[in-house]
Every structure is written in C-alpha cells, then in structure tokens.
Amino acid sequence: MNNIDPAIFKAYDIRGKYPSQINAEVVYAIARAYAEFIKPKNVVVGTDMRLCGEEFKQALIKALTDAGADVIDVGLVSTDQFYFAAYHLGAGGGIMATASHNPKEYGGLKLVREKAMPISGDSGIYKIRDLVLSSKYQVSGTGQGKVKKTNILDAYYEHVLSKFDVSKFKDLKVVANTNFGMATPAVEELKKRVPSINFLEVINGRLDGSFPKGRPDPLRPETREETSQTIKKLKPDLGVAWDGDADRCFFFDEKGEFVTPAYINALLSEYYLQKFPGGKILRDTRVYRVIDDAINRGGGISVPAVAGHSFIKERMIKEDAVFGTETSGHYYFKENFYLDNGLLPFLAVLDILSSADKTFSELLAPLREKFFISEEINFKFENQNILEDIKKHYLQAEIGELDGLDVKFDDWRASFRKSNTENYLRVNLEANSKELLEIKIKEVTSLISGLSS
C-alpha cells in the first residue's frame, strides 16, 4: 500500500490520527507485513479501551490468520497484561491495539516478538514500514490460521501479587485516578484481592475511550489537578494515577503534591536492592542524580541507558538488571521477565509505606530537600545542529552523549534530547538548590531561544 503515511511508524510503536492516518485497512496491511517479517506461528492480540480498538483488533486477527498464523485473542487488556500474555503463553509475537496516553483522536499498535520483546524502529518497525510502503509489496492469498480466545487475567494478577506479602500491607487509604483507562478494572480487581488497600475514591473510574476530561497522561500538570484536589479533600495516605493503557504509574503524597518520578525511582531502587543485594539498576539519562545516590547508598550498580521502552528492555536482559527506571513513569522488573509494569510500582510503594513509620511526604523529604528537579521543558527548534551548539557553549562542563546531550557541573546538570517524532528539544535540569535550579532554567531557556532558528 503506497497511500500509508510513513509518519505513523515511530521509534517505539505505530501511532496516528484515526481514521485519516491509521484505520482498519492500514492495520491489516501492517499486520500482514509484521507476519511476513517475524514469521510467528502464533500471535497474541489484544486491545485497550480506545474507540477504534475493537475495529483494529478484528483487522489484526483477519490479517494474521490470512497470513497463516494462529491468533490468541486476549481481549480487553492493559499493555502490561498484553506483555504478560505474550510471555506467559509462549507466543511467537504479539500486537496490541493502543495509542497509550495520546488524545482520543489517535489509534496505534505496539508490536512484540517472542518473549514479549518489543519491536522498535531499529529492530523492525522501520523494516515493516518499508515493506508496507514498497510498490512491489502485494498482500495476496488467505491462510488457515486459527483463533483462540484466552483469558489471562487470573494468571496475571496471581503473578503480580506473588511478588509481595500482601498480608503485611497496612490498611492504607488511597485516592486513585484511572483516567478512564485500563487501570480501572485493575483497581476493581485489587479491591477484591487485597482488601487492606482502602480506595477512598477512584476518580474517572470507568472505561471511556473518548477521554471526556482530556488526554489520559498524568505527567501533564493539567491532568494532575483533579487528583491533587481530591487528596486534599479526602486526606488519604497517598494518591496514584495511571495513563490510558495503564503501563505508566505516578504518585502523589498525602498532601496532594505530585511526586516527581525520579524520587519514586530512587525509593524503588533502594527497595529492589534490598531484595537483590548488589544488583544492577538501569536508569535513563534525563534525571538521575537522586537515583544514583540511592543506588550507591543501597550498594548497587547504576547502569545508564538510552530512554525508550524497547531500548531499556533489551538492556535489562543484557545486564541482568534487577530493576529499571525511566523519568517518564515506566518501571521495569527482573521478576516480571525484565518487562515494564504499571501495577508493580504501586504495590511496591504500598509495601514501603507499610513498613515505614513515616508519612509519604516524610519519606520523600530527604530527597526533596537535597535534589531539586525541573519539569521536562519542551522547546520548538529548527536548527538541526542545536545539540552541537549547546555543547560548544558549555566547554567547561563534563559532557555525556549516550542519549542526546548530558551537560554536567558539580552543582547542576541538564539533559538535552531531540524528540523522536517532532522538532522539539526536551530538556530536564537538576541542581543542588531551588534558587540555582531557577537560575539555570532561565539561563538554558535564553540559550535555546538564541540557538533555535
């Protein structure tokens, strides 16, 4: 098919506006090319609550069975549950219909090969794109693949909960925001299976792919306000929020203050080093001073990694890492087949709070008082040499170039990364004081403004 927009093929997945960029016909063509590229005997197929999800799932099933592959239909699932199904069922691959935390107008696909290993741009998405867009590519013939519906939810919850002694969980009060997404049924399941978790309120606790309150992304400040206000009103022990497909998890303290993911990454690094002494922990290069401090105190080994779930998972396996973190709210676990999961961090934080004689904010205070971290700042740019120009400006800095540009001084540092999909420069800063952080944000903003065009 030559009429497919190549822009939908991203570095980590396939995403576009529905139905102008991605629709059932496009999904069918992509799935046929996927089958030709991977040549799987069987493929797990699932969907989240996106309005186009069921339509896409049926197109996937038809394409894969026409290609001669058997399909294991796991139905309506979170991305975590899809990954678990692909691994647990020993499938040769998997395709999930999801556009994660994108607005309601979007549809998309996440692709994995055997053992639920993600297919990224470099490991297959771009080859599948080239196959689909090739003028010589012809989809022909119908195979005899079979379809089997399988419910993996009991096995999934047993797997996740087996990692904790939930009988020791305190009766903790929780405000949750499931953002009309796939964490909604997960929370309902936790109510039944772990009654000590006292959910005072589940905000936006129904499945609704129209996302009536906007984009289901708790990392965006405008999405956090409802959770924060509800916490101030109900006074729980903590708050938690998930994105649309429930693979990213975010926290609020008992005062309603959003917890910067790096602080959670630090707490969980210490937690998993207690379970796996001396282990390796992966972290990206966006924000890491507080994480490295926790890893060093916990006797672990910090392993810097390129951001992006496909890159992190591959590196987790290569390093045999016990835990992995991303600034974006993704968490990766050795005891979850090295895959990411949005429920495990929530349960781990409950475990930490259950054994602590402090409130959540008291637990976080030493980190918040020592490590000052900016929100991610996005700058539009046209100058394709902008990273090189920034590097020249900071000649006195220690420079890292594993993933974009890492500019390091003794009392502050900044990460500069080009977006994989748009002309945006994504910037994260850390400093030893709030005052210095504010000064450096202004300095970097002024610098980039002068270099952008």
Catalytically active residues, by annotation: 100
128-132, long-range: CB within 8 Å, 24+ apart, which pairs? 128/9, 128/30, 128/33, 128/34, 128/37, 129/6, 129/9, 131/33, 131/36, 131/37, 132/1, 132/4, 132/29, 132/30, 132/33
Classified as helix, coil or strand, 330 is coil
- C-alpha count within 13 angstroms, C-beta hemisphere, residue 435: 0
> How far is the CA of 429 from the CAs of 14, 80, 434, 435, 441, in angstroms?
30, 30, 11, 13, 7
β strands within 310-439, DSSP E: 323-325, 331-333, 372-373, 377-380, 398-400, 405-408, 412-418, 424-431
Question: Hey, what amino acid is at 371?
Answer: F
Give the Cα separation of 216 and 293 in Å (integer).
32
Going by C-beta distance under 8 Å and a sequence separation of 6 or more, which residues neighbour residue 322? Answer: 272, 273, 275, 276, 279, 280, 281, 300, 333, 334
